[in-house]
Amino acid sequence: MRKELIMTRTLCVFIIILVILLSSMTLASANDGVLGMTPDGVYPITQTDIMMKSEEIYIKVTGASAKVTCKFVFKNLSHAQTVLMGFPARLDIDLYEGEFTTEEDISVRNFTARDEDGKIPVALLDTLPDPPQKEAGGMEKYSKWYSFSVDFKEHEEKTLYHTYDVNFSYFSDGSIYLGYVIETGSLWKGSIGHSKVIFDFGGIPMYAITTIYPNNYYKIDGNRLIFERSDFKPDYNLQVSMNLSAYDDLQWFDWHYSPFGGKEAAKKKIELFQTSPEVIRKNTEHYFQLYESLIHQDPVSALYIKSALGLPDGDEKPEITECSIRNQMGNTLYFDIFGKDPDGDIVNCRGEVNGNVNLSYHEDGVYFDYEKMQFHGRGYIDLQDQESSVESITFTMTDASGNTDSKTLLLAEIPKPESTQASQTPQPPNPGENGLPVYEEVGSSGSRIVPMEEETIPLLTAGVFVILLLSLAAVALFFVRTKNKGYLLFAAQLIFVFLSFYQIREMLSMRGNTAGAMLSEDISLKIGISAVLWAISMIFMVAGIAAISKKENHEALSADEEEEAGMESGDHKGQ
């Protein structure tokens, strides 16, 4: 019995470990694109003779996966030709994050292609890492393509059909991120004539949808979310998130809606989606006012009202309200750009560097800041060239309709890269023209390299310390009761876990007053030390399990031997 107990305990430990390590997930679907080809692979290019007249995409969503059918209509505006077409088959795993992401989950599966004459042969090819032409707007992020040749007669109009299966990213809180890649449609001549993408959610309530992007050109029809637009050249992709447990778990809603009233606000959202479009149309004035208040706070609910009332798609211009340098760490300048948009459909915020400089602006993305009720864009540049002279940066905010607003940030002389400025005393920030800030030297009391609330690290430290202290007390109690020295190895494990956490805590506490190169070295060193300490703690844990199991096995064998000896003694006495 003792052996069985030991085996059961060991099995439970491994089951827990397996549950923690379980993983799976991610992907998006896409338009047909145009490819160039070399013996080493393919690469996306633009096409100047053929236009995409229309596309109709139907995505049947079933949880974290979908079956997709596509219909594309192309028009050849020139002579007869053969075009090498491509369909993104695999995304770069580093660009599509989820808690559980595997290579299979970022790949289109079971892809087929056909035209009116029948099935078209398809080959799966790698993307050329360094293509001879880089005119496709960064679409090299698709690491594999389904490739197929299509013959066009002179001025022919041709219809292509595709089917495939796809998975989507999901997280442990139940959130699922799905979408459709339409940016590859910009590779064709001119604009896309007409695009219609239908997400069919089946039995999933529409209030389970948590976000949509861009916040325009969608409508809700029953349990279908429909994107529809004409005559446009896409420079963004469609993104939708939902939570399968949200509609039957108000605790999740309470957390997700905490900035807007928690559980009560969640109940109001459910009630809104249970209100029929007919009732909404009978109370137009009330629901239109509600729509205007929800555009930024809850775009999905606003979309439901917009769809019921038949309101037109927004076309109002965004406005940049503020742009500044957040801080300078070493040779890197970090920027903040804030803006407003009545439609809530800003899709990007980009910067163009002006001056004698051989570098570019890097965009970190745009999100909505609920505290300021504004869109917040971030970006940075690295001043690696000692001869660089940055005069200004022009920021441009663009919405889904193509409307833009620009603002130029004028810069005074920016410190040279670290190698030429090490001996110089940093100068205080100088105001630029029009009162705009120029740069900000961050001292020891400056911003942390990982933005967070000030109380986060103290709370995290206290929580970890309490858990480790309780664990250590439990180990000590077991040791006192059993006198098994194997528990001392678990005590050593907890000590090394604490030391590993300490390194991470130090990294999170670092502030932006270290030069760029030195900062990266410090961060890398702390991560490396933390990993080594964690590995040592795991060695102590395994050794502890082995030591405890060995002693318990020994005690079990001794007990069995004593029991057998007792039985033999009893037999002799009986005889």
SS (H, E, C) 257-296: CHHHCHHHHHHHHHHHHCCCHHHHHHCHHHHHHHHHHHCC
Q: Which of 181-195, 276-290, 310-324 has the highest mean pLDDT?
A: 276-290
Is the per-residue pLDDT at 309 higher than 80? yes
Is the per-residue pLDDT at 20 higher than 80? no
Amino acid at 285: E
Alpha-carbon gap, residue 384 to 358, rounded angstroms: 9
pLDDT band at 458 (very low <50, low <70, confident <90, very high): confident
Which residues make beta-bridge pairs with 366? 377
As a whole number, mean pLDDT of residues 531-535 equals 89
Q: Where is pLDDT greater, at 259 or 226?
A: 226
Closest C-alpha among 34, 33, 74 to residue 160: 74
pLDDT score recorded for residue 406: 92
Q: Please provide residue 85's backbone torsions phi and psi, each rounded to the nearest 5 degrees.
A: -95, 160
Q: Is 348 exposed, middle or buried (0-12, 13-18, 19+ CB in 10 A)?
A: middle
Q: Which of 126-130, 163-167, 448-452, 519-523 has the highest mean pLDDT?
A: 163-167
% of the chain beyond a pLDDT of 70: 67
Q: Where is pLDDT greater, at 99 or 117?
A: 117
Q: Are 330 and 449 in contact (CB under 8 A)?
A: no
pLDDT score recorded for residue 22: 30
CA dihedral of 520, 525, 531, 535, whole degrees rounded to 10: 160
Closest C-alpha among 239, 225, 199, 184 to residue 72: 184
Give, in order, the Cα–Cα distances in Å from 367 to each of 255, 341, 442: 19, 12, 24
Alpha-carbon gap, residue 170 to 242, rounded angstroms: 9
Q: Which of 182-191, 196-205, 367-376, 425-434 has the highest mean pLDDT?
A: 196-205
Secondary structure letter of residue 444 according to DSSP: T
Looking up tokens 């109001």 gives 268
pLDDT score recorded for residue 112: 93
pLDDT band at 229 (very low <50, low <70, confident <90, very high): very high
CA dihedral of 96, 97, 101, 105, whole degrees rounded to 10: -30
Alpha-carbon gap, residue 481 to 459, rounded angstroms: 33
Residue 70: in which H helix or E strand, if any? strand 65-76
pLDDT score recorded for residue 145: 83
% of the chain beyond a pLDDT of 90: 24
pLDDT score recorded for residue 423: 37
Whether pTM > 0.85 for this model: the answer is no
Is the per-residue pLDDT at 148 higher than 70? yes
As a whole number, mean pLDDT of residues 510-522 equals 49
Give Cβ neighbours of residue 364 (< 8 Å, ≥ 6 apart).
377, 378, 379, 380
- Region of 269 on the Ramachandran plot (φ > 0 left; ψ -120 to 50 alpha; else beta): alpha
Secondary structure letter of residue 204 according to DSSP: S
pLDDT band at 525 (very low <50, low <70, confident <90, very high): confident
3-state secondary structure of 61: strand
